[in-house]
Amino acid sequence: MEKLIITAALTGAEVTRDVQPNLPLTPDEIAEAAYEAYKAGASIVHVHARDEEGNPTQDYEVYKEIKEKIEAKCPVIFQPSTGGAVWHSPEERLQPVDLKPEMATLSAGTCNFGPDVFMNSEEYMEKFAQKMLDLNVKPEVEVFERGMINNTLILRKKGLVKDPIHFDFVMGVPGAITGEIRDLLYLQESIPEDATWTVAGIGRHELPLATTAILLGGHVRVGFEDNIYIEKGVLAESNAQLVAKVARIAKELGREVATPDEARKILNLK
């Protein structure tokens, strides 16, 4: 079984300091959180930027500053979000891809997102995939529903996404696929045999899905974007604490954790 890739989703676009006082917001705070997560076992950091008021932003310059500060601290894979917040335009969402990161997210369809709608039309998906292809940025395909796997395979057929594809199953978002283990098995069995995958369980789904992914040979995403608690009713002190918990479970289950360079090899980044 391949070594386990742990992704730390450090901030997200929805969480605020009102509910998680330890949330990193500034470029310096996000870079420090990335470094601490790396030391705990993360090989990828998934990044949503915030502006000076703490609001979600897709501004190129803010992402550039975050990327440079992270790279100065540690060798993790920098993976910016192109999802942004639900109100960002496609042009705004695409700005971080111009930094030519090793990876970036590619949302593979439209879904309800709590009270909002996360819009990803066929036009959007093709535009995002083409830009990543042109700039040699590997997409992490974000799957919120089973049909998004089909959308991805259509992109592959059009030559916009290359094999092997890497999927991220985001599970437990209100309005999208639920976070039951049966749902993870369904998604995992629906992707191409040579594909790799990560699971991001939202809230209480994080730990059961992470443990299942470790056993199945998949990979795991944790962090404040998805879950702010280290255990029921107890706020996590940091993203690194959540990463360390998954690394500890993996060790108990006999699966080694990948370094950033090992993750690059598994994901065909180098």
**Tell me, what CATH number does 257's domain have?**
3.20.20.70
What is the end-to-end Cα distance of the chain in Å, rounded? 20
Assess if residue 165 is contained within a domain: yes
At 85 the pLDDT is 87
Residue 155: pLDDT band (50, 70, 90) is very high
How would you write 208-219 as a 3-class SS string? Answer: HHHHHHHHHCCE
Q: Which residues pair with 104 in a beta bridge?
A: 139
Residues 106 and 140: their CA atoms lie apart, in Å, by 6
What is the residue-averaged pLDDT of the chain?
Answer: 97
| Predicted model pTM | 0.97
Residue 96, both tokens: 């971080």
Q: Which residues pair with 132 in a beta bridge?
A: none
* Continuous H helices in 25-80: 27-40, 60-73
Range(s) of the domain holding residue 229: 6-266
Number of domains in the chain: 1
- Reported as a single tens digit per residue, the pLDDT across 58-77 is 999 999 999 999 999 999 99
Assess if residue 254 is contained within a domain: yes
Assess if residue 1 is contained within a domain: no
Assess if residue 231 is contained within a domain: yes
Angle, helix 122-134 to helix 147-157, in steps of 10 degrees: 50
Q: What is the DSSP letter of 253?
A: T
- Reported as a single tens digit per residue, the pLDDT across 110-129 is 999 889 999 999 999 999 99
Assess if residue 29 is contained within a domain: yes
pLDDT at 270 over 80: no
pLDDT at 105 over 80: yes
